[in-house]
Amino acid sequence: MPIEITMPRLSDTMEEGTLVRWNVKPGDKVAASDHIADVETDKATMELNVFDEGTIASLAIDEGGTVPVGALIAVLAEDGESVEDAAKAAGSATSNGEAKDNPPAQAEPAGDTAGETAPPVQTAPAPAPSGGNGKVRISPLARKLADERGIDITTIQGSGPDGRIIKRDILSAGSGSAGAAAAASVAAPAKPAPPVAPVAAAGLEAKTVQLSGMRKTIAKRLVESKTTVPHFQVSVAVDMDALLELRKTINGQLETQGVKLSVNDFITRAIALACLENPVINASWNGDSVVYHGSVNVGTAIALPIKDDGSGGGLLVATVRDVQNKGLRQISSEVKELATKARTTGLPPEAMSDSTITISNLGMPQYGVTQFTAIVNPPNAAIIAVGAALEQPVVRNGNLEVGHVMNVTLSGDHRVIDGASAAEYLSTLRRLLENPAALLV
């Protein structure tokens, strides 16, 4: 009998998933543990593996579709079972790319669905794709977009499997329908033309991009943090000349081994060692108690790239555990590996959990950011915002010189950390960064 593949719960807070990419198509044979799709959860994009052997009979949702956890997304035919029979057994709606409990509705004229009194625009009819029973083949996401835009789906020729209408068909038809409607409205009335709206600047495009699961979670968590956590900020300026010189020397010695330490690697270790001297910072608010952690797990904020269509982007926090017990080379290796996975295949939930303090570094020279404040990442009690180490005038021993200065700002949860404790911690952090040999032992 056919095997139904449903949207799995890939994180403890996941309620729905977006099918980013299928790696299989109907008729493909798969084995247990094969990577058949990429799914975007509320935290990251993750691999979806199949647990059974068989042949893909049908794909129930298109790429870009979002469905709740537990919803049917694909059907697998067992060995020896007909692909056609498996697809039919899963229901005609599944074979047409529809959810089982959402049978395709009869298409209505665009004017009626929008509630308009003007007659619908006359357009040349296009062949209505069907599944042989007179019903239009259209994915749930495409139907939703068509309803929102008032597009008559019976006039659209689908470009998906078996002529199914998918998202790109609706987006393409939308621009044409809008143009036709505009032309009809201009020809009808004999009234003065309204003022022309300002034209968008060259290279800009007015559009609306639906929030991804990750963006929704980021928005929710940041609002909760900013409105429920009593934030305060404390900043210090750090003389970075000694650290930059030490880094240059070490990287020169390690060049033949393909190792290159970043300034962030030194800062990450310094943050952990400073917590050993100031354990109150390495803590979490727990409602009616404060939890002081026995190890320093540094969460590193990683920005994800924004795609050409405006989607993507976002921010996730990858965790490097027991940083107080790791050397610079190991820290560097782990951070690079986590960043690469985050921007390509995505990170599993365990790689983004259990941080006890967070670093947000915008100190890349190309940005030129000198100072900023970050929002606390609950349940952490502190987050360290790091600016760029830039050349500027400094006074040393009464003399005016040119040096590299970096601003560091601690945002703290005032329920856990007092201002004096934050100042003491930053004083320790500055001492370690200005005397970087201590970071090597």
C-alpha to C-alpha distances, 86 to 2, 294, 334, nearest whole angstrom: 5, 54, 45
- E strand segments, 94-243: 231-239
Separation between Cα atoms, residue 56 and residue 72, nearest integer Å: 13
DSSP 161: G
> Dihedral, CA atoms, 93, 99, 102, 106, nearest 10 degrees?
-50
Report how far residue 219's alpha carbon sits from residue 414's, in angstroms, rounded to the nearest whole number.
22
DSSP alpha helices (H): ranges in 283-382? 328-343
- Output the CA angle 169-17-144, nearest 5 degrees: 35
Prior bond to 378 cis, omega within 30?
no
**Does the annotation mark 414 as catalytic?**
yes
Here the tokens at position 198 are 């300002």
Strands 16-22 and 66-68: antiparallel
Residue 146 main-chain phi, psi, to 5 deg:
-65, -40
Inter-helix orientation angle 263-277/241-254, to 10°: 120
Closest of 336, 334, 309 to residue 321, by C-alpha: 334
Q: What is the DSSP letter of 136?
A: B
Tokens 């309204």 label which residue? 194
Is 277 in contact with 328 (CB distance < 8 Å)? no
Q: Hey, what are 176's tokens?
A: 């044409």
Which residue has 């990683």 as its token pair?
302
Identity of the residue numbered 116: E
How many residues belong to the chain?
441
Alpha helices in 316-440 (DSSP H): 328-343, 419-434
Q: How far is CA 407 from the centre of its chain?
A: 28
395 Cβ neighbours under 8 A, 6+ residues apart: 401
35, 293, 404, 414: the active-site residue: 414
Distance CA 153, CA 107 (A): 6
Distances (CA, A) of 298 to 59, 283, 302, 306: 40, 12, 12, 25
Catalogue the active-site residues.
414
